[in-house]
Amino acid sequence: MRALKPTMRMLAQMFTSATSDSLVETKTADKEAADLESAEVSTDAGSSSMCSTTRSSLISCKDEIQFSELAFGKHIEPMRRYANTANDIYLLNAFLELSEVQDIDGSSIKLVLLALKFLRNCQYSAVDICSICAHASAYFVDVHNLCGNLMAPEEVGNVLVTAMFLAHSYIQDETCPLYVWHRYLFKGYCCVRELSEAVMRVMTIRRYVLRLADEDLRMRNEKLCAASHTLNMEQVY
């Protein structure tokens, strides 16, 4: 198992350990991508029954999307084949903007795209996924404000997806347990216990307040829904 990088280590250990002098090369998501494409995710009787997945073909959206017009287009384009739909490209770009990401590498882009695919395969609606990303983007900003100087570009994806898990746990009635997220997105990067501790640390940074202010949530939701061409249900009524 690969060593945790400074930010995730600090999240897992409640910021009590010293920062490593060097960063370990980030894990790749190639195996997780293959697993996710063919997976039939199942949970035990006490967990969600929503996580039955079907195989989704990878898209090639080079001709459909003007990556030069996206703030993170140059980062996303090389990883476009990991997007489940073209809308996920736009959703990811808006998600990164709202998260105030300063820099990100290809492995992190790939991981977040796989996380979006994971949520879709778990049968969460497009509106729910936008709401998950809206909350997660705010959580990430708080984490970055506290320890962003330790966060390497290849580590951003791990923190973003950790925030996505926390957000989905907060806003969804039926959730996929942490071990399922670990199996398909974090396997080989850390153990479930360390991931759980990282999630708890994000909650601590938020002072256990996961709800966003109405105006802040509305702004984030509107941007994400507009970017991904998803109907914002708040605007229906």
Question: What DSSP designation does 63 have?
Answer: T
- pLDDT value for 203: 96
CA–CA separation, 204 vs 87, rounded Å?
33
Residue count of the chain = 237
pLDDT, averaged per 10 consecutive residues of the chain (237 residues), comes to 54 40 32 44 39 41 77 96 94 98 96 97 96 98 91 94 98 96 92 95 96 98 92 48
Which of the 8 DSSP states describes residue 100?
A: T
For position 9, what pLDDT does the model report?
A: 58
Q: Which SS3 state, helix, strand or coil, does residue 67 take?
A: helix
In contact, 24 and 32? CB cutoff 8 Å: no
Give residue 35's pLDDT.
47
pLDDT at 5: 57
Show the tokens assigned to 15.
Answer: 């910021």
pLDDT of 171 reads: 97
Q: SS3 of 101, please?
A: coil
Distance of CA 133 to the CA centre of its chain: 7
Instruction: Read off the tokens for 92.
Output: 């990811």
Alpha-carbon span 13 to 136, nearest angstrom = 21
As to burial, measured by CB atoms within 10 angstroms (0-12 exposed, 13-18 middle, 19+ buried), residue 218 is middle
Looking at residue 230, its pLDDT comes to 77
**3-state SS record for 124-149:** CCHHHHHHHHHHHHHHHHHHHHHHHH
Q: Measured between alpha carbons, how far is 86 from 111 in angstroms, rounded to an integer?
A: 16
Q: How far are the Cα atoms of 27, 107, 211 from residue 3, in angstroms, in the given order?
A: 10, 16, 32
Query: How far apart are alpha carbons 139 and 120 in whole angstroms?
Result: 21
**pLDDT for the residue 47:** 42
pLDDT, residue 74, reads: 96
What secondary structure letter does DSSP report for 59?
Answer: P
In degrees rounded to 5, what are phi and psi of residue 66? -90, 90
Region label for 222, one of left (φ > 0), alpha (ψ between -120 and 50) or beta (otherwise): alpha
DSSP track, 156-212: HHHHHHHHHHHHHHHH-SS---HHHHIIIIITTT--HHHHHHHHHHHHHHTTT--PP
